[in-house]
Amino acid sequence: MDVNNTWDIVPLPKEKKAISCKWIYKEKYNAEGTLTKRKAKLIERGFTQGANTDFLDTFSTVATITTIRVLLSLVGIKK
């Protein structure tokens, strides 16, 4: 993930506490029992965050494939 520049490491302010994270792994098998796919997902453990604390300061930038297609269609129309 570091090679892909997935995130930037920044210093944590002294008055803040980092939220921990956890890796979730899934494996998919076909009918014969052969491994066909592996997935890994890094999730944040939000339950460690205090109530009413910094909820407006965090976000996740996730776009669905439908949103991406609409934007690309609009670009095609405008050209």
Instruction: For residue 32, tell me if it sits in a domain.
Output: yes
Tell me if 48 is assigned to some domain. Answer: yes
What is 17-74 written as a DSSP string? Answer: -PPPEEEEEEEEE-TTS-EEEEEEEEEE-GGGSPTTSSGGG-------HHHHHHHHHH
* Residue 62 or 71, more confident: 71
Query: What token pair was written down for 59?
Result: 């976000």
The answer to whether position 54 is within a domain reads yes
Residue 15 lies in a domain: no
pTM value is: 0.43
Domain carrying residue 42:
21-78
Asked whether residue 25 is domain-assigned, the answer is yes
Query: Ranked by mean pLDDT, which of 43-47, 50-54, 55-59 comes out on top?
Result: 43-47
Domain contains 44 = yes
Is residue 9 in some structural domain?
no
- Number of domains comprising the chain: 1
